[in-house]
Structure 1
Amino acid sequence: MLVRVRGFTILELMITIAIVAVVTMLVLPEASVWLSNSKTRTVAESYQNGLQMARNEAIKRNLPIRFEVLNTGGWQIRLEESGQVIQRDVASTDASIKFSVASGNGKTYVVYSGLGSLWAPEQANAIDQLNITSTTIAADKRVPLRLTISNPSGAVRMCLPSSSLPTGDPRKC
């Protein structure tokens, strides 16, 4: 009587490894695009959270609070009058992410009043929008993001500046 040994043959293992290798080769390029677009979204969310935090601090303290985009990347929140820094984020600094600031007079900050709206003396010069894009992947695979700051309420909204979205899509800017 023959006793059957359980397990895999070397041929079955080699075929399995070959299939896994082929699938990995097919998925890897798309995974890098996904990672790059995820990094872009993380940076955009960091700026959005910073703007919302500045607005909340202004309401909590009933004082003008400044949200400022730093030249080196990242942002900081500080008291408008004394300049004391409340919060700073430099973790969003990354050479593979490009961002631009659109404002009335080239300003790189927003000042919130104690009511959470844009502070009246600074409204005309406030940041209108932040555009955030990855620079490490092909342009046709990038998902650029835009943060818009409504004037005078100061509310922050993240949207997609893509023209391929239908007109009524809430993600469209």
Structure 2
Amino acid sequence: MMKRATGFTLIELMIAIVIVAVLLAIAMPSFRTFLLNAQIRSASESMHAGLNLARTESLKRNARVSMWLVNGISAACARTATGTSWVVSVDNPASACNAISSFTASPRLVQSRAGSDGSGSVSVTAVNAGGTAASCITFNGFGGVEPTCTGGDAPIASIRFASSDASTRTLQVSIVGGSVRTCNPAITDPNDPAIC
């Protein structure tokens, strides 16, 4: 009696490879959208956490504490309404975003975060209540939003996070009276808690 050979034939192996390749080709666009949505979520959660940190620090210190959107965490940083990086400090951190956290040395930096950390392909747009570009928000000792930031600028009212890919979602962080909330501007159902 002859023993039957076990294993795969070359034809069976090629068919399996073709099936796997077709499944991967179908799944790749969805996976890319999933990754972009994760980056948008990461950026919005980071900004939400930074805003809550600034508010908490203002309550803890019973003093004005600001969050600034900046173009990077370096000695050459500048404020910008499209910055994915942020700095929480008592004083304006311009050209000192890489300073060591300190309660006494200017800019009395509390914490900073580089926008490239986990959310490099996300675009950020911050506006004030009038809809014009804004790059800072200041909380007072009661946790409320000050009417102006250091330098007299109107404070951030909302920050929108998006991608250039139209298949991804857009998220928005809104600040109303000191309360920070993340929502989805695409939702229109008034019963959905994620509505803006």
Give the C-alpha shift of residue 120 in structure 1: 6.1
Q: Per the alignment, in what secondary structure is the counterpart of residue 125 of structure 1?
A: coil
Aligned-partner Cα distance in 2 for 1:47–1:22: 39
| CA displacement at 1:106 relative to structure 2 | 4.3
- Range with greater deviation from structure 2 (62-71 or 13-22): 62-71
More helix by share: 1
TM-score (normalizing by structure 1): 0.84
Gaps of 5+ in 2: 71-79, 93-105
Q: Which residue of 2 aligns with 1:144?
A: 170
Write out per-residue CA displacement over residues 100-136 of structure 1, whole angstroms, 9 at most, x where no aligned residue.
11114743211112232224665x932110011101x
Summarize the Cα distance change of 1:88–1:127 in structure 2 as closer, same or farther, 3 Å threshold: same
After TM superposition, the structure 1 = structure 2 runs for residues 7-156 of structure 1, keeping only pairs within 5 Å, are: 7-70=7-70, 71=80, 72-80=83-91, 82-92=106-116, 96-104=121-129, 106-119=133-146, 125-135=154-164, 137=165, 139=166, 141-151=167-177, 154-156=178-180
Q: Is the 8 A contact 1:149 1:155 kept in 2?
A: yes
Structure 1 residue identity aligned to 2:154:
N
Residue 16 of structure 1: CA displacement? Answer: 0.9
Q: For the aligned residues, what is the CA RMSD?
A: 2.4
Question: Quick one: distance in 2 between partners of 1:26 and 1:147?
Answer: 33
Partner SS for 2:33: helix
C-alpha distance in structure 2 between counterparts of 1:108 and 1:4, whole Å: 74
Give the conservation status (yes or no) of the 8 Å contact 1:43–1:92: no
Q: Which range moved further: 102-111 or 38-47?
A: 102-111
2-structure distance, mates of 1:87, 1:43:
16
Pairing partner for 2:182 from 151, 158, 167: 158
Unpaired runs of 5+ residues, structure 1, are none
Mapped partners of 2:14, 2:155: distance in 1: 62
| SS of alignment partner, residue 101 of structure 1 | strand
Aligned length: 166
TM norm structure 2: 0.75
Could you tell me which amino acid in structure 1 is paired with residue 162 of structure 2? Answer: T
Deviations 1:48-102 (A, max 9, x none): 1111111122222232211111125311000149532221111347663222111
Identity %: 29
Match of 2:6 in 1: 6
Q: Supply the distance in 2 between the matched residues of 1:166 and 1:107 (Cα, whole angstroms).
A: 29
Aligned residue type for 2:86: W
